[in-house]
Amino acid sequence: MKITRIQAPPKPPERKRVAAYSRVSDGKDAMLRSLSAQVSYYSAMIQRNPEWVYAGTYADEALTGTKDSRPEFQRLLADCRAGKIDLVLTKSVSRFARNTVDTLATVRELRHLGVDVFFEEQGIHTLSSDGELLLTLLASYAQEESYSTSENCKWRIRNDFKEGKSTPCKVYGYTRDYEIIPEEAAVVKGIFADYLGGMGVLAIRKKLLAGCMNFSVNTLRLMLRNEKYAGNLLLQKTFTQDHLSKRRVKNEGQLPQYLVENNHEAIIDPAMFEAVQTEFARRTAAQHRAAPPPAEGYTFTGLIRCGICGAAYRHKIAGSAPKYKKSTWICGTYNTLGKAHCASQMIPEDILTAKTQEAGGFAGLKEIQVPGPNLLLFIYEDGRRVELAWAHTPRSQSWTPEMRVAARQKSKDRRAGQ
């Protein structure tokens, strides 16, 4: 018997799946050309290497490296988590992110997944033994650089404010250089005149909607308070909280403000503007005095969506007389603007509760849609969709024994008085 050992042929080395990530900080032509150049450079580099498989390029045009909303960066991370990438090439730590915590958290997650990140400018492989130490130092430097840039920008803007210089912005009625746009100015004048004439912002909104002009109630309130319409500029109304979140917050005395009077031609006469501010303050104070104590949350708050206009349903007590008052839910558009803008229905809360239990209860309930008349669509987190029909309870069934006795007595009293 002869036994021959058969040597298995050597397996070819597995090629790494390599992707590249690029980012520029703004939309200027030069920067966009730089982004295009980076994409071309990395695409060619990966495809020239026989040991690599091209896994794509991911490129963001982002305002800042501190943002988490970069769509291509998020797509890159999703593909890494899906096991589609072994190595990510990027130009530098500052192009990857400028926040030390976020940079390290991302790199550590990728290391756990077995994905290497190579920072070309620094020559760092994150899977190497000294990668994380060097990366920590460089990421800290990148964050400090971001902070320094942010502080320099703040210093420049605040010095401009001191000198009465503003950042150009678009305000309805004006161009960015505060030149009046006549047709828009006419609308602004009408809004101020109507408010001073006694109309509320909701009534003004309905009037504008009838003329095919859609301003939200909040926008109208801001317009009525905007000093720019009187020819003035109030600078530093808001400020950036910090260089990482970039969150804008209202300036309520944290920083000085600067009023530049007669900066540009006014749309609203200053005397009329002041009269509107006085009336606005009076109405606001009256509303606050009349406001009831805050109500507790309702079971269906945030759950019901109108299938006609897409607005959320809100709670409402229907009926004027105490014995006829009923807890109902109504489309926000219908409630605010009327049936002309949304032909939906009010739904009694007791019917909603009963139909929810019939559909499967509140556990895992994601949303209730109202696709049409007398229809409810219950959507659950697990993908279940249950459509149920409903109908108003006949009035005869809704009467309590006490209500029936009272009605009979009222009828007797009416006959006795004839």
| Cα 122 to Cα 101: distance, rounded to the nearest angstrom | 19
Predicted pLDDT at 152:
66
Q: What is the pLDDT of residues 255-300, one digit of tens each?
A: 777 778 888 899 999 999 999 999 998 988 876 554 454 455 578 9
**In the chain, what percentage of residues exceed pLDDT 70?**
75
CA diameter of the chain: 127
Residue 312 within a domain: yes
Predicted pLDDT at 202:
87
Predicted pLDDT at 150:
65
Q: Average pLDDT of the chain?
A: 81
Range of the domain at 314: 304-398
- Please identify, among 131, 146, 161, the residue that sits at the C-terminal boundary of a domain: 146
| Cα 206 to Cα 323: distance, rounded to the nearest angstrom | 32
Count of CA atoms in the C-beta half-sphere (13 A) of 131: 19
For residues 4-31, average pLDDT: 72
Are 229 and 333 within one domain?
Answer: no
| Cα 81 to Cα 114: distance, rounded to the nearest angstrom | 10
CATH number at residue 223: 3.90.1750.20
Residue 416 within a domain: no
Q: What is the pLDDT of residues 195-249, one digit of tens each?
A: 999 899 988 998 998 888 989 888 999 999 999 999 888 877 776 666 555 677 7
Are 136 and 44 within one domain?
Answer: yes
- Going by pLDDT thresholds of 50, 70 and 90, the confidence category of residue 93 is confident
**Higher model confidence: residue 295 or residue 343?**
343
For residues 24-39, average pLDDT: 64
Residue 11 within a domain: no
Number of domains forming the structure of the chain: 3
Predicted pLDDT at 294:
46
**Higher model confidence: residue 371 or residue 405?**
371
For residues 401-411, average pLDDT: 72
Predicted pLDDT at 81:
94
Are 320 and 267 within one domain?
Answer: no
DSSP codes joined into one string, 277-342: HHHHHHHHHHHHHHPPPPPPPPTTTTTEEETTT-PBEEEEEE-SSGGG-EEEEEEHHHHHH-TTT-
Predicted pLDDT at 35:
74
Are 72 and 134 within one domain?
Answer: yes
Helix/strand/coil for 224:
helix
- Please identify, among 289, 313, 335, the residue that sits at the C-terminal boundary of a domain: 289
Predicted pLDDT at 410:
74
Are 345 and 235 within one domain?
Answer: no
Residue 246 within a domain: yes
Are 280 and 323 within one domain?
Answer: no
- Going by pLDDT thresholds of 50, 70 and 90, the confidence category of residue 413 is confident
Are 25 and 134 within one domain?
Answer: yes
- Going by pLDDT thresholds of 50, 70 and 90, the confidence category of residue 145 is low
Are 200 and 100 within one domain?
Answer: no
221-225, 258-262, 376-380, 409-413: the lowest-pLDDT one: 409-413
**In the chain, what percentage of residues exceed pLDDT 90?**
34
pLDDT at 65 over 50: no
Cα distance between the two ends of the chain? 127
**Higher model confidence: residue 282 or residue 414?**
282
- Going by pLDDT thresholds of 50, 70 and 90, the confidence category of residue 32 is low
Predicted pLDDT at 245:
56
Residue 296 within a domain: no
Amino acid in position 139: A
Helix H or strand E segment including 108: helix 100-112
Are 320 and 282 within one domain?
Answer: no
**Higher model confidence: residue 154 or residue 84?**
84
CATH number at residue 32: 3.40.50.1390
Residue 235 within a domain: yes
Are 129 and 188 within one domain?
Answer: no
Residue 387 within a domain: yes
- Going by pLDDT thresholds of 50, 70 and 90, the confidence category of residue 137 is confident
Residue 405 within a domain: no
Are 283 and 247 within one domain?
Answer: yes
Are 239 and 138 within one domain?
Answer: no
- Going by pLDDT thresholds of 50, 70 and 90, the confidence category of residue 67 is very low
